Amino acid sequence: MKNIISFFAIVLSSLGLQAQIQVEHIDLNVGDVIYFQMDTSLFELQSPGENLTWDMSNLSSPIIDSLIPIDPANTANASDFPESNMAIGNDSITAYMSATENEFVNLGVSGSMMGYDFLIKFQEADTMIKFPISYGDSRVSYTRGEADIAVANVHHYGRRSLECDAWGTMTTPIGTYDVLRVREEIITLDSVFLLGFFNPNFSRMDTSYKYSFYTNDISIKKALVEITFDPESNMPLYTNWVTFPTQSIVENNAENSLNIYPNPTSDYINILSQEEIQSIKIYNTEGQVLIESNQTLVDVSYLPPAVYFVNIRTKNNITTEKIIVK
């Protein structure tokens, strides 16, 4: 019997077969720093299937961006989303999440549009992803919400369809991983009602398509690769992939001779770089942005003694360094 089992193991290995995986969860937490890059190269997307191989080792980009989930308590609209334990956003919009290792749910968004502040609390929250995920799984979810912006009322409706349509092995610039591919279709309808009108004065429907590749490697913390694509041509519009600071940020630091001093400090920091600095952001360990500047001399004297992260953007790189204020 042992010889028979060994024989089948050898045959399966010679055929290049492997067992499909189940992605259990994603370990994304407040304060994590996830680096990613974007490539706009064109390539043909593979059809659904099993035991596929995706070679994306040639993806490249001079720009490195970062995602830092923050504590909602440090945002302006925290009281409107008491169930939120994570906020993700940029300078103009913040999404309030209910995040666990098993699901990520968008409870609503706040921000600024055309100079007006807005707040949308979803009456039906947007369940973005659920775990565990296995090949063949599919799910449809809906969301809706309203917001008052200036003299108008905006109604938002959404439909998110997900299907895990492929599994296999993916190689990116940072390594090779066992992955599941999730095909996503998102349809949104936004209607604007001017005050006093019962019918919408303006409506817009958008549809977007994306492939997300998930792995069980806990160091990735989000989809390993995300491909936004055109379904008619079956060609990508752009591709985002996770990268590691040890392989990109740190190497770029050495090339750019970036230097922050004094560190530790009690009053100010100087930032020296061979490249022109476009922006500087200083975060606390909770991911809250405390200082934004484009000057190389930054006053930190009013910060409480603690560890902070300095995010520096130049034309070709984004670098994050740790400083200590004493």
Sorted by where each begins, the domain ranges of the chain are: 34-243, 249-325
pTM, 2 dp: 0.73
> What pLDDT score does 319 carry?
79
> What pLDDT score does 286 carry?
67
What is the pLDDT averaged over residues 74-80? 88
215-to-18, 26, 66, 181, 223 alpha-carbon distances in Å? 15, 9, 19, 9, 7
What average pLDDT is seen over the chain? 84
52 and 166 Cβ atoms separated by less than 8 Å: yes
Q: Which tokens hold the place of 303?
A: 């910060």
What is the pLDDT averaged over residues 84-100? 87
For residue 18, name the pLDDT band (cuts at 50, 70, 90): low
Summarised one tens digit per residue, pLDDT across range 219-228 is 999 999 999 9
**Residue whose entry in the numeric block shows the structure tokens 């070709």:** 316
Phi, psi of 313 (to 5 degrees): -110, 125
> What pLDDT score does 253 carry?
45
Q: Are strands 116-130 and 103-113 parallel, antiparallel or unpaired?
A: antiparallel
| Residue of 32, 78, 93 whose CA lies nearest to 283 | 32
Specify the higher pLDDT residue, 276 or 9.
Answer: 276
Sorted by sequence, the CB contacts under 8 Å of residue 40 that are 6+ apart come out as 236, 237, 238, 239
Q: Which amino acid is at 86?
A: M
**Residue whose entry in the numeric block shows the structure tokens 């491909």:** 227
Q: Write down the CATH number for the domain with range 249-325.
A: 2.60.40.10
> What percent of the chain has pLDDT above 70?
87
| Sheet arrangement for strand 268-272 | 259-261, 268-272, 297-299
User: What does the CA dihedral 262, 267, 270, 276 come to, rounded to 10 degrees?
Assistant: 150
User: Residue 228: helix, strand or coil by DSSP?
Assistant: strand
> What pLDDT score does 307 carry?
80
Summarised one tens digit per residue, pLDDT across range 109-146 is 998 766 778 899 999 999 999 999 999 999 999 999 99
**pLDDT exceeds cutoff 60 at 190:** yes
> What pLDDT score does 91 carry?
57
> What pLDDT score does 170 carry?
97
> What pLDDT score does 108 carry?
95
**pLDDT exceeds cutoff 60 at 10:** no
**pLDDT exceeds cutoff 80 at 306:** yes
Q: DSSP letter string over 196-213?
A: T-SS-SEEEEEEEEEEEE
**pLDDT exceeds cutoff 90 at 37:** no
**pLDDT exceeds cutoff 90 at 56:** yes
